[in-house]
């Protein structure tokens, strides 16, 4: 997992700084020999454009239904995390509050999230937009 994504999931800026230092160190070689640095190129992309994360919170059965629907979507730049309500010990970034709807989704870029979405059709539309 790239450090930028780890920073987004935990909210810990140490990972962001480590990613920046690593990319600065390897950038000259990446520029001269790009074919040998595929994973570093992915890390650079995530550093330049913060990764997109979709956090699903809710009841287990409803979460599975949403996961099945979202698995049909092409989401190459989005990490989907499905977390049942009441799971203890989550980092603050992932510890979204319980809401009355069976499932709520938070679409995030880095550690900044949109308001929760509780309608799957609305969520699919939001996923197609450039957030």
Same domain, 74 and 102: yes
Report the alpha-carbon distance of residue 57 to residue 115 in Å, rounded: 13
Tally of CB atoms within 10 A around 15: 19
16 within 8 A of 7, measured Cβ to Cβ: yes
Same domain, 57 and 115: yes
Query: 46 phi and psi, to 5 degrees?
Result: -70, -30
Report the alpha-carbon distance of residue 63 to residue 120 in Å, rounded: 11
- The pLDDT assigned to 131 comes to 54
DSSP summary character for residue 129: S
- 28-80: pLDDT as tens digits: 998 898 888 888 887 787 777 777 899 999 999 999 999 999 999 999 888 89
Same domain, 41 and 56: no
Share of the chain above pLDDT 90, in %: 37
- The pLDDT assigned to 86 comes to 85
Q: Domain total for the chain?
A: 2
What beta strand segments (E) does 1-131 contain?
Answer: 52-58, 78-84, 103-109, 112-113
């Amino acid at each position: 997992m790239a450090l930028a994504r780890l920073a987004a999931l935990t909210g810990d800026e140490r990972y962001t700084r480590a990613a920046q230092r690593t990319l600065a160190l390897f950038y000259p070689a990446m520029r001269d020999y790009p074919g040998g640095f595929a994973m570093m190129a992915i890390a650079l992309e995530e550093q330049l454009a913060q990764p997109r994360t979709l956090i699903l919170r809710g009841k287990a059965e409803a979460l599975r239904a949403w996961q099945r629907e979202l698995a049909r979507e092409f989401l190459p730049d989005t990490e989907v995390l499905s977390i049942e309500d009441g799971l203890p010990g989550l980092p603050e970034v992932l510890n979204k509050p319980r809401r009355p709807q069976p499932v709520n989704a938070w679409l995030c870029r880095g550690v900044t999230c949109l308001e929760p979405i509780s309608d799957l059709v609305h969520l699919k539309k939001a996923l197609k937009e450039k957030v």
